[in-house]
Every structure is written in C-alpha cells, then in structure tokens.
C-alpha cells in the first residue's frame, strides 16, 4: 500500500508488471538496442513516425482551424502519456510501456475526430468497416514505411496489445487467423490486456473529460453556471474559492485551471489507490496471470459515478452543442465526398495508394491518415467547395 498512498518511486517492478526483459517480442525478431529496453525502443519508434507528427493537426473536439489553443490529438496523447506515467510509477508498472501505448493510442484516428471516423465507417460499410483502434494497429504494423526490410514499425507484442483497445469479433477472427497468438486473440477467448494497457485506457478517459471541460469553456460553448450543476466540478470550485475567494472575479481562467488540476490529481490518486486495493486482493503472480483476471485498473465506485456524470454533461452540453454538431456534420460531408472522389478517380491519390489491389481500403487508409487541414484542401481541390471558412 506504500506505493499507492505515498507515491514513492518503487525500487522494482511489481510481479504483475510487463517486465521489459520478458517481452513476447516483435513479429520480426531484431537484435537488442542497448541501453534502451524494448519498450523504450517502441516509444522512440512511435515518436519518430510520420503518423505521430500528423496528430498535431487532427481534431480532438474542435476542428483544427477553430483556434490555436484547443487540444489536438497530439497534445491529448502527450497528456495521456503524462498521466499514465504518474500512475504507472506509483503502481510499480512499466512506465516506458505505458508511454509507448499512450503516444500511439490515437495514431489511427481520422481527421475531424469521431465525426470523421463515423463517416469513414459508413463509407466502408460494404468493405469491412473502419475501426480507429484497429487502424492505429494498422499504422504501426503496416502503413508506416520507414525501414528497408519491413513494413510498419515492428513494435513489441505488449505495445501492440495496448494499442488494440477494442476490436470487433469479425476483425479479431481475421487478425487471429494470420497471427494466432497476436493481440486480437483476447477478443475471441476473453481476458484482459496488461495492466499497463488497462491503465492507459482509464488515463485516456480522465484526460479527455478534464481537457474537454477546459476547451469547452475556452470556446464559450459551456459556462460556469453549467459547471456548478456537475457535482465533481462544483466540489473543486467551492474548495478553491474557499481558499482563493477573489478568483471568481478575474474571468475565471485561473479558477478553472485550479479546479481541473485538483480534480485530475484526485482522480489519479483514486485510480492508483483503487487499483492497488484490487491488486492486493487478487495478488496475480505474473503479467499473464493478471491478463486472465477481470480488469484490475479502476476508480472507486464514487469516483466512477462522478466521472460518468461529468461525461454525460459533456455529451449533452458540448459534444451535442449545435455549434459542434454543425461542424461535425460538415466534417462528415468532407470525408464522404473525399471517399467518393477517390474511389471514382483513384489517380487523384498518390501512386502508392491508387496502385494497391483493394481500392476501398486504400482510400480509407489515405483519408484516415490526413490532417484536418489537408482533408479540407483536398476537398476544395476535388469538389471546388469551401465548406469551412479560412482553411489555409
């Protein structure tokens, strides 16, 4: 319990952590690269790949050109990595592995966030669909072209397992036929991913609920009067105002920052504490033993309820705000138009895409890899329409 309550640096990894010297390895065996561990090496490969750089111009909630201060997929991924690492360190887990998973977890996202993904999934309805988690795996397994003798980044099993957060049964069957002991197997046989992967999943949620409140307030689409109705936020608002009564009068930016800072710290402490309690009870003897148990990474039931209420608030007030949905409807049009244009005239894509045998999948990969602004430029070039103002 020391690790959970005092946040001291543990001397050694927990027995259920993914030890770097016990990796299940890479699909294509490679000589080690000391002094880096295999998971540090994965992290480095991810940071240097081109899909990672493109995350800077991909939407989280707000379309990229709406403002320079909103989160993008890149800053979101960095925040997830920071939060996951804090929790992993406190729980004596493999920090390098959680960092690699966190930095790669959104690599497969289309431009325009979930609107883009929904549109691409609809376009691919008769051609196997589109899933962003699976696409993230495709990016690191095949789409990146950086090595002379293999496609993709050839990452370790543990990083790939963490990237494939969800997978439909149909896709899991297809992947497992090609790679029977691969990361899709658990979607057929049951079981959990490593604790490092579970931690990143939760850290992802905690990160976005906090930063979407921040971005929502910055955009002016949500207001203090609404936040006061959300118990988790109001709790911290009252605590901060108690200590700094003048903050409400100063425009509220510092007040919001302090509320969110305290909220996220409390949630991470709760995550570490609740997870440690579950581990103390279950006492798995190894990373594989942990994979066979129910999910160990968790929040306490109180915090779970509070974060669920905050998510509901964000759905109702921000993600479904008319101004956001108007943008996402236009984004869907852009993706659907691009899909139509490239499947009708494949030569409009660069050669390496239009020469692939499965045209629809090649088009989906090409569109999924685009940044928001590149997609808008391509849409303008191919249709002559400008759906968004000032896209250059």
**Distance in Å, CB of 209 to Mg ion, minimum:** 11
> Where would I find the H helices in the chain?
2-6, 38-47, 50-54, 73-90, 95-104, 113-123, 132-138, 157-163, 169-178, 186-189, 195-219, 224-227, 231-243, 253-282, 287-291, 301-314, 322-344, 351-354, 359-368, 372-383
> Mutual orientation of helices 73-90 and 95-104 as an angle, nearest 10°?
160
Q: Tell whether residue 196 is a contact of Mg ion (CB under 5 A).
A: no
d(CA 220, CA 1): 43
**Distance in Å, CB of 244 to Mg ion, minimum:** 32
Q: Which of 204, 212, 258, 365 binds Mg ion (CB under 5 A)?
A: 204
> Mutual orientation of helices 195-219 and 95-104 as an angle, nearest 10°?
50
**Distance in Å, CB of 255 to Mg ion, minimum:** 26
Q: Between residues 38 and 79, which has the closer beta carbon with respect to Mg ion?
A: 79
Q: Between residues 55 and 338, which has the closer beta carbon with respect to Mg ion?
A: 55
d(CA 10, CA 234): 34
Binding piece for Mg ion, criterion CB under 5 A, among 101-109, 174-182, 213-221, 304-312: 101-109
> Total residues at the site for Mg ion (CB under 5 A)?
2
Binding piece for Mg ion, criterion CB under 5 A, among 12-20, 99-107, 225-233, 365-373: 99-107
Q: Between residues 132 and 237, which has the closer beta carbon with respect to Mg ion?
A: 132
**Distance in Å, CB of 105 to Mg ion, minimum:** 6
**Distance in Å, CB of 207 to Mg ion, minimum:** 7
**Distance in Å, CB of 93 to Mg ion, minimum:** 19
Q: 368-386: buried (b, 16+ CB within 10 Å) or exposed (e) per residue?
A: bbbbbbbbbebbbebeeee
d(CA 104, CA 136): 7
Q: Between residues 106 and 337, which has the closer beta carbon with respect to Mg ion?
A: 106
Binding site for Mg ion (CB under 5 A): 106, 204
């Amino acid at each position: 319990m020391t690790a959970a309550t005092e946040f001291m640096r543990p001397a050694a990894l927990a027995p259920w952590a993914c030890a770097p010297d016990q990796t299940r390895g890479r699909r294509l065996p490679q000589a080690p690269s000391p002094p880096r561990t295999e998971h540090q090496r994965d992290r480095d490969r991810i940071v240097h790949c081109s899909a990672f750089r493109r995350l800077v111009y991909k939407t989280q909630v707000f379309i990229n050109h709406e403002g320079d201060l909103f989160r993008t997929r890149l800053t979101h991924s960095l925040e997830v990595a920071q939060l996951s690492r804090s929790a992993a360190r406190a729980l004596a887990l493999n920090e390098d592995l959680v960092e690699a998973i966190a930095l790669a977890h959104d690599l497969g996202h289309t431009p325009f966030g979930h609107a883009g993904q929904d549109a691409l999934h609809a376009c691919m309805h008769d051609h196997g669909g589109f899933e962003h988690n699976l696409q993230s795996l495709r990016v690191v397994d095949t789409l990146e072209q950086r090595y002379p003798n293999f496609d993709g980044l050839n990452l370790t099993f543990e990083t790939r397992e963490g990237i494939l957060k969800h997978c439909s049964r149909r896709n899991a069957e297809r992947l497992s036929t090609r790679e029977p002991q691969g990361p899709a197997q658990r979607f057929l046989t049951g079981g959990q991913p490593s604790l490092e992967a579970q931690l990143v999943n939760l850290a992802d949620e905690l990160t976005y609920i906090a930063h979407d409140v921040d971005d929502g307030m910055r955009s002016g689409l949500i207001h203090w009067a609404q936040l006061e109705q959300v118990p988790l936020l109001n709790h911290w608002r009252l605590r901060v105002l108690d200590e700094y009564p003048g903050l409400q009068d100063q425009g509220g930016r510092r007040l919001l920052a302090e509320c969110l800072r305290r909220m996220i710290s409390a949630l991470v402490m709760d995550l570490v504490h609740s997870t440690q309690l579950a581990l103390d009870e279950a006492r798995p003897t190894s990373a594989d033993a942990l994979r066979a148990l129910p999910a160990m990474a968790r929040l306490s039931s109180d915090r779970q309820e509070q974060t669920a209420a905050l998510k509901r608030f964000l759905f109702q007030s921000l993600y479904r705000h008319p101004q956001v949905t108007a943008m996402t409807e236009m984004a869907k049009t852009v993706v659907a138009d691009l899909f139509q244009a490239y499947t009708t005239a494949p030569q409009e894509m660069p050669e390496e895409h239009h020469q692939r045998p499965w045209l629809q999948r090649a088009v989906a990969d090409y569109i999924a890899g685009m940044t928001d602004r590149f997609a808008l430029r391509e849409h303008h070039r191919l249709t002559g329409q400008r759906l968004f103002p000032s896209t250059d």
